[in-house]
Chain A
Amino acid sequence: DGGITQSPKYLFRKEGQNVTLSCEQNLNHDAMYWYRQDPGQGLRLIYYSQIVNDFQKGDIAEGYSVSREKKESFPLTVTSAQKNPTAFYLCASIRSLGGNTIYFGEGSWLTVV
């Protein structure tokens, strides 16, 4: 079945370490997004990519980095520069600008210990 796969589902990180969250889609979608979700808050955009080898910062990009070397993959690295990284991270994709449905992955829980 087509969809978006995020991994790992749960991740624990020590302070000062970088960690990479994987996001893979087999929907042949052009645009991919990373959001952060905190309790009581709406989804906040970290980074997005509309085409391969191109990506743009969202509202809260500081402390994060991404790459888009392949159409189906959009990994997110949470660096040690991110001061409050403990959160639920969601990856999403849409066929193209103007596409109707946003598809979300199942999310990744990151906890800094």
Chain B
Amino acid sequence: KNEVEQSPQNLTAQEGEFITINCSYSVGISALHWLQQHPGGGIVSLFMLSSGKKKHGRLIATINIQEKHSSLHITASHPRDSAVYICAALAMDSNYQLIWGAGTKLIIKP
């Protein structure tokens, strides 16, 4: 079992829908990253959070430390949001290395 699990693996939705991507982890963490990877490979960091909630534009990330769970939400989704979304956990005993989820491939249809 992977230490960081994402669900769903693939998600297809219509433009405008509210999107939720989940990330569960089994280790103690000090922070959790959400990143976005567009076709072509470039990765962009969206959020790094260790508690509560962060919002940037239409993106919202939440984390529940007790439940070892984080979610990434996209409101009013748009085709340009189509990408792979990856969560990565900074484990407490990892010497600052990230444990990566396998990613969620999101496709937003117009």
- Note whether A and B form a binding pair: no
